[in-house]
Amino acid sequence: MSITVPAPDPALAAGLDCPLTVLDLDGTRLPNELLDPHLTDIDEHALTNLYVDMVRVRRLDVEAFALTRQGHLVLWPPLLGQEAAQVGPARALGEKDWVFGSYREHGFALLRGADMGEFSRIWKAYAHSGWDPQEIRMAPSQIIIGAQSLHGVGYAMAAKMDGADEVALTAFGDGATSEGDVNEALVWAASFQAPVVFLCQNNQYAISEPVGLQSGVPLALRPTGFGIPSMRVDGNDVLAMHAAARIAIDRARTGGGPTFIEAVTYRRGPHTTTDDPKRYRDEAEVEAWTAKDPIERVERALARCGANMEAVRAEAKIRADQLAKEFRAACEHAEPPTADEIFDNVYAQPSRRLERQRLEHRAFVSSIEAKA
Amino acid sequence: MKTFLLPDLGEGLTDSEIVAWKVAEGDTVELNQPLADIETAKAVVELPSPYEGVIAKLHAGEGETVDVGAPLIDFDLGDDDGAAPAAGMTAAGMTDAAATTDAVATTDAPGPVGEEPDVVSAPASAPETNVAAQAEAVAADDKPEKISVLVGSVTVHGGKPTRSKRTWDVEPFERAALEHTQRRGPNRAMPPVRKLAKDRGIDLQSVRPSGADGLVTRADVEGAGTASAASAASALAAPASTREKVTGLRKHTAAAMTKSALTVPHAATFHQVDVTETLALAKSGDASFLALASRAILLAAKRWPEVTASFHADTNELERFAHVNLGIAVSTDRGLVVASVDQAETMDAAQLTAQIKDRAVRAREGKLSMEELTSSNITISNVGVFGVDGGIPILNPGESAIIALGAIRKLPWNHQGEIVLRDVCTVTVSFDHRVLDGREAAGFLADIAAVLERPALALAR
């Protein structure tokens, strides 16, 4: 097989000069040739749903952050500011499609239907994967930077071979685009025209390293070098993200191959609960991005539509508070795994050697108990 | 009432400092309301309230360091659900629960698996067999170190992740041979076995290991206990070693010396000096020998000003000071301190005598100000009071030279062409080789020596 890799091609990328936007900061609807045809069915009701989703995602994130400080969770990578970049694409996916995300994809997890009790176990360090990946069609949180892009492409290639009507969306950050894994994934996706969507949430920092140090060109230009079309989208605009994801997913589903979406957004919180972002960025920068808040923007848009914002906010708050309460209760009541369970998930099938080790371990534990 | 225990706010932290309280006792607080700013080794973080209720008691004041797992705040929740500390908040609880569950599971199913002949049977009635020791766990003697990675932490042993050796397919006699060739380094044992040895006062290194891979087993330790019961008993009475927590000045000194020794390239130079005349001067006048030696150092420092400079490695800068702030190393009951006599070059020997005495007295009373403890830019250490001739002192952090004065001894000496008994003292200069080269250090030391040998020279300098 011969593989042709074209040079970076700005013609393959949309939004290089200015990220694609359909909702202005003040909530006005901006016309956009590329995205508009994919938003014709979005009415006030649909926008309200996206709004409530974002409020719930944020509430979950804020509650989990507090729970970490209170000793209930071991660690939490917050997504504050990235709600639209996750909710827009998550709501564009079909039920059978798959998500392969990083460790910050709480919005996807919530909207794919992860059980909060199971979800909390990941961040209590009680479980490697809180949810059943097959059940909600979302792979476990990937800690290795960018590795999930290969998993996503692999799944998509298999789906194509099987003739299955499934699309894989792999979500990662700006830092992951500097990793070999993501570049390899782009090569394979392009060569096999895999039905995959690369969602890069460019939140401006790879932990403490600003994106400008990683790339002199917009990240959306990189995939064009692999022959993959891309879109650079305002990641704080839930409608633009929704439309871009719809374009990419449709293309994948109809045999058009992979698409890369760069969601230009901002991580307003620390990298994780053990990070101190004050050491590497200015408060003014955070404030500037807070002014571009994805949720407030939709509130303004809904108000312009004439929605009863008081009722919408009240409804969103009730549902968000309920979610937070449910998550807190799950965290407080989660039971730690027993050491014996270590042996359960090493192999799919039990092996004699492992069973022997399990017994040796039990004997060892009982020898301590007996002597104590 | 609920007691909130300080959680681990980083990954693997042992304590945190309360920077500021945002609430007071008696305040009513909401869930997740900010209660305090807390500083960990990693960041200052905000603590959100874990409960909705009234603050009944704050267990620590601002500026205090609290251990992870120690009570931080009592909450009055307005109900009577007991005064038990909030459960599930500490990792310790989790470990206990896990251990207990395991033990129960063990008695339920102790038998062999399948019919494979080489499966090791592990009856619960004979738990002291070496079965446990043969398990493939890692029991390195080195203390695991936690290293932060991107979004978590990894525990490493001795600088690199350890991995157990593959032993399952090795025949016993091969294993013995392997043991013989592979065994190196100190004896290893499982943590509970190490604890057993420690409790019984048995040195693990004196026990002959019989476990797989050279592990010392519980039986080995117990056997050693029987064999040398007498020595074990005496060992119990007087343990081979004890450990105590290092705090306060000792801890500070340890940190400062480690930093200095590890970050500064030290070099040193020595000179035996005939101080007979200076000593005579000290005995006849108001000035102490130490003050006169200080004068000699100050005169030499005037000629070699770099000796009081400070090297800043982070910015690659050399900081020079307008004055010589002479640090006097004082040994106190609580440890070593360096007290500064600021602008010492402006003082005469009598003033220096008084100032040095003042610093020594107040150092022993613990009454020196932070300024006096930190402002020196060169240090003099009179190790001679301990009867020794010298040593290579470690620099006070931030300084470029430290002078050690040895004991003054009567030695046969070549004096004006004849061998006579003279008062001789070894002077050592330890210096920062980034700031000073051997030439400067030697020149500085030679100038000190010249004045000590002929105090009258001071008139000319």
B229 has pLDDT over 60: no
- Yes or no, beta carbons of A340 and B113 under 8 Å apart: no
B380 and B444 housed in the same domain: yes
Residue B44 lies in a domain: yes
Sign for the pseudo-dihedral over CA of B172, B176, B177, B178: positive
B423 and B297: one domain? yes
Residues B35 and B77 occupy one common structural domain:
yes
Across B21-35, B88-102, B231-245, least confident range: B88-102
The Cα-based distances of B157 to B2, B94, B121, B143, B163 in angstroms read: 39, 24, 31, 6, 10
Q: What is the pLDDT of residues A305-325, one digit of tens each?
A: 999 999 999 999 999 999 999
Q: Indicate if B433 belongs to the active site.
A: yes
A166 shares its domain with A31: yes
Q: Are residues A211 and A355 in the same domain?
A: no
Residues B359-412 pLDDT 10s: 988 888 878 887 888 889 999 998 888 889 888 899 998 999 999 999 999 999
- Residues B326 and B450 reside in one and the same domain: yes
| Residues B60 and B80 reside in one and the same domain | yes
**B298 and B332 share a domain?**
yes
Q: Is residue B338 part of a domain?
A: yes
Both A185 and A305 in one domain: the answer is: yes
Are A149 and A294 within one domain? yes
Nearest to A70 among B7, B134, B135 (CB): B7
Residue A2 lies in a domain: no
Question: What band does B98 get if pLDDT is binned at 50, 70 and 90?
Answer: very low
Residues in Cβ contact with B447 at an 8 Å cutoff, skipping those fewer than 6 apart = B296, B299, B300, B303, B304
Q: Which residues in chain B are contacts of A280 at CB distance < 8 A?
A: none
B101 located within any domain: no
Query: What distance in Å separates the CA atoms of residue B48 and residue A69, rounded to the nearest whole number?
Result: 7
pLDDT of residue B80: 57
Asked which of B239, B265, B298 is the last residue of a domain, the reply is B239
Q: Are residues B18 and B86 in the same domain?
A: yes
Residues forming beta bridges with residue A95, ordered by sequence position: none
Q: Within this chain, do residues B206 and B274 fall inside the same structural domain, yes or no? A: no
Mean pLDDT, rounded, for B62-83: 82
Residue-level pLDDT at B202: 84
DSSP per residue, A156-209: HHHHHHHT----EEEEEETGGGGSHHHHHHHHHHHHHT-SEEEEEEE-SEETTE
Of A66, A74, A363, the CB nearest to B106: A363
Q: What percent of chain B has pLDDT over 90?
A: 39
Residues β-bridged to residue A170: A100, A198
| Residue A1 covered by a domain | no
Residue of B45, B106, B198 to mutate, interface with A, max A Cβ within 10 Å: B106
Is A4 within the bounds of a domain? no
Question: pLDDT tens across A264-306, in order?
Answer: 999 999 999 988 899 899 999 999 999 999 999 999 999 999 9
Whether residue A359 and residue B151 make contact (CB cut-off 8 A), yes or no, is no
State whether A294 and A252 are in the same domain: yes
Do A301 and A370 lie in a common domain?
no
Residue A260 and residue A346 in one domain: no
For B149-194, the pLDDT digits (tens) are 444 444 444 444 444 444 444 454 455 555 554 555 678 888 888 8
Please, are residues B341 and B356 in contact by the beta-carbon 8 Å criterion?
yes
C-alpha span between B218 and B126 (Å, rounded): 12
Checking if the pLDDT of B83 tops 60, the result is no
Residue B96 has pLDDT above 50, yes or no: no
Cα–Cα distance for residue pair A92/A49, rounded to 1 Å: 13
Is pLDDT at B458 greater than 80 in this prediction?
Answer: yes
Number of domains within chain B: 3
ipTM of the complex: 0.79
Q: Residue A348: which domain range?
A: 340-372
User: Tens digits of per-residue pLDDT, B302-346?
Assistant: 999 999 999 998 898 999 999 999 999 988 877 788 899 999 999
Express as a percent the part of chain A with pLDDT over 70. Answer: 98
The pLDDT-based confidence of B116 (bands split at 50, 70, 90) is very low
Number of domains in chain A: 2
**For testing contact with chain B, the best of A65, A143, A366 (most B CBs within 10 A):** A366
Q: Are residues A315 and A371 in the same domain?
A: no
Mean pLDDT of A11-37: 95
- Phi, psi (deg, nearest 5) at residue B449: -60, -40
Q: Are residues B7 and B82 in the same domain?
A: yes
Is A344 found in the same domain as A301? no
Q: Which tokens hold the place of B436? A: 């000073």
Question: What's at B263, amino acid-wise?
Answer: T
With an 8 Å Cβ cutoff, is A283 touching chain B? no
Same domain, B289 and B228: no
Identify whether A43 is part of a domain: yes
What residues have CB less than 8 Å from B122, skipping those under 6 apart? Answer: A359, A360, A362, A363, B110, B112, B129, B131
Specify the pLDDT at position B120: 41
Q: What is the CATH number of the domain that holds A149?
A: 3.40.50.970
For residue B179, the enclosing domain spans: 166-239
Indicate the pLDDT class of residue A2, thresholds 50, 70 and 90. Answer: low
| Average of per-residue pLDDT across B21-46 | 89
What six digits make up the tokens of A306? 């004439």
Q: Say whether B131 and A364 touch across the interface (CB within 8 A).
A: yes
One domain for residues A301 and A355: no
Task: List CB contacts of B307: < 8 A, sequence separation 6 or more.
Answer: B300, B301, B378, B400, B401, B431, B436, B440, B441, B444
Alpha helices in A235-336 (DSSP H): 238-253, 283-290, 294-305, 309-333
Q: Which of B66, B92, B118 is the last residue of a domain?
A: B92
Q: Which of B98, B122, B135 is closest, CB to CB, to A338?
A: B98
Do both A106 and A190 map to the same domain?
Answer: yes
Q: Which residues of B305-334 are buried (b: 16+ CB within 10 A; e: fewer)?
A: ebbbbbbeeeeeeeeeeeebbbbbbbbeee
Per-residue b/e over B137-153, b at no fewer than 16 CB within 10 Å? eebeeeeeeeeeeebeb
Whether A3 maps to a domain, the answer reads: no
B312 shares its domain with B441: yes
Q: In this structure, is residue B179 part of a structural domain? A: yes
Task: Please indicate, yes or no, if residue A67 is contained in any of the structural domains.
Answer: yes
The predicted structure's pLDDT at residue A371: 61
Distances (CA, A) of B343 to A221, B327, B402: 64, 11, 17
Q: Is there a domain that residue A116 lies in?
A: yes
Q: CA of A16 to nearest chain B CA: how many angstroms apart?
A: 30
Q: Which of B388, B458, B373, B375 is nearest to B428 (CA)?
A: B388
Q: Chain B residue with minimal CA distance to A332?
A: B88
Final residue in a domain of this structure, among B63, B92, B121? B92
Domain annotation covers residue A159: yes
Q: What pLDDT band is residue A4 in, cutting at 50, 70 and 90?
A: low
Residues A225 and A203 in one domain: yes
Residue A143 forms contact with B (CB below 8 Å)? yes
Q: Transcribe B319-337 into DSSP letters.
A: E--SS--EEEEEEETTEEE
CB contact under 8 A, A69 and B47: yes
> Quick check: A200 pLDDT over 90?
yes
Whether A17 has its CB under 8 Å from any CB of chain B: the answer is no
- Is B145 among the domain residues? no
